[in-house]
Amino acid sequence: MKKKTLTCLGALALCVITMRGFGQTGTLNISGDSKTTISKHIYGQFAEHLGHGIYGGFWVDKSLPVKKQDRIRLDVVEALKKIKIPNLRWPGGCFADEYHWRDGIGPAAQRPRMVNTNWGGVTEDNSFGTHEFLELCSLLKCEPYVAGNVGSGTVDEMSKWIEYLNSNSTSTVVKERVKNGHPEPYKVSFWGVGNESWGCGGNMTPQFYADQFKRYASFAKDYPGAKLKKIASGPNADDYNWTEVCMKNIPAHMMYGLSLHYYTIPTGSWGKKGSATAFTEGEYFNTMVNCLKMEELVTKHSAIMDKYDPEKHVALVVDEWGVWTDPEPGTNPGFLYQQNSLRDALIAATTLNIFNNHSDRVKMAALAQTINVLQSLILTDKEKMVLTPTYYIFDMYKVHQDAKYLPIKLDAPDYEVDGKKIPAVNASASQDAAGKVHISLVNLDIHKPITITTGFSDIKWTNVSGQILTSANVTNINTFQDPDKIHLSNFTGAKKDGDKLVVTLPAKSVVTLELN
């Protein structure tokens, strides 16, 4: 009998995956002994000036027959408030390093226009700028995460933007904010110092970027009530040297976090990425192999960070993640519009389980992207709106926000396709302030149900309830014509057996349980 071990970072977290041939059973043990909190900011979102993410997504034409505040679409706002998104990253992405914030303030009719050279070559009219973004965050009741321009900007430009946002002085730039309708400072704390500085943000070397970060960060000042959480532009996927250089050369006290970007590409190739809706079981399996690589990336980058920051003061901020497929046929390829299937929901749940299990180092993340771009939570078409399967994962998993992380040990069968194997089940668990325990389980096997028997250490419970997301096929999607094909349902496949919990996970499903 072969065994493979998957290490979940954290002194108390260990997931052991054991092959059981054709067996469809496994065990899960959960400990209540933990001092780690799963930060709510792991459940963050990303909104870039890209395709119809901002324009036609959050920010719509005045004539569109939907409820709006100014031009902010309110049915979108209400949907995102329901899942309690904790932060929203803006204005990019690659767009951030060509964005000059002064172009997006003042009377809309007087704002200059530009060409969005990164995404589709379309005209950007700057009608959605700083004030509009912060009004959106206010409506969403989430924290803004602003990505500053290091690639084509200046230290003074970023410094003045922070002053404009956060200062309560009587300086010229603050008077300008007051003139533009906001007398009180916004007090924005999360601040990205550049984006993908190894690529579209300037094609820098890690040493050059580390020096740039220190220079920009030195002039990014704290103002009363707004201590900055500065996030350095971190590595692309498995560029471990980038992490090494940044952690070695940037003092831990200067940065809140180091970012990591990794996308699940179904084919593993940036050329032909694969379809969002038409794929074989072999292609599905390969996509899950690529999704599970996030475990390796987080583990190895965290180990490097531990060398220089053993007290874990610096967060690993995975502020771009998700599945990236070929765009939908007939759409502008520069708009990155793709459909969202049950497969994508399984990817989201698996990735969030990884983040939860590494919550001692992963303190913040952002799915790419919120609306109409890549692995969206929401798709819109004029007045129509549909919630994607990925949206429902965030709805299920919101119970883990700011809850106590519970270490797990999982022993379950493999999922095998064409002689290759991956763990069929992944999981994470937490305990909220009221003492309720929540367990999220994913069965990646598209054919077999799997029964998991769970034991507990230092945890007492009496009742269990749950929710499930599944569908007949992993290629199933929600459409404007059939918006509820995939939706949450009550789950009745869990029961108490003595002091054990026995749960049968249907094939290709995500289940979140609540134990009282």
Res 183: pLDDT = 97
CB burial string 63-90: b at 16+ within 10 A, e below: eeeeebeebbbeebbebbeebbbbbbbb
Q: What is the pLDDT along the chain (516 residues), one digit of tens a residue?
A: 333 333 333 333 333 333 333 449 999 999 999 999 999 999 999 999 999 999 999 999 999 999 999 999 999 999 999 999 999 999 999 999 999 999 999 999 999 999 999 999 999 999 999 999 999 999 999 999 999 999 999 999 999 999 999 999 999 999 999 999 999 999 999 999 999 999 999 999 999 999 999 999 999 999 999 999 999 999 999 999 999 999 999 999 999 999 999 999 999 999 999 999 999 999 999 999 999 999 999 999 999 999 999 999 999 999 999 999 999 999 999 999 999 999 999 999 999 999 999 999 999 999 999 999 999 999 999 999 999 999 999 999 999 999 999 999 999 999 999 999 999 999 999 999 999 999 999 999 999 999 999 999 989 999 999 999 999 999 999 999 999 999 999 999 999 999 999 999 999 999 999 999
Q: What is the CA radius of gyration of the chain?
A: 23
Q: What phi and psi, each to the nearest 5 degrees, are found at residue 497?
A: -130, 95
Instruction: Quickly count: other Cβ atoms within 10 Å of residue 118's Cβ.
Output: 18
Active site members: 196, 320
What pLDDT is recorded for position 2? 36
pLDDT for the residue numbered 14 = 30
Report whether 32 contacts 408 (CB < 8 A): no
- Torsion over CA: 477, 483, 488, 493 (sign): negative
Q: How far is CA 224 from CA 146, 231, 261, 275, in A?
A: 18, 20, 32, 49
Residue 23, pLDDT score: 44
What is the architecture, at CATH level 2, of domain 38-405?
Alpha-Beta Barrel (3.20)
Joined together, the tokens standing for residue 158 give 């970023």
- Give domain limits for the chain: 38-405
Bridge-based pairing state of the strands 437-443 and 509-515: antiparallel
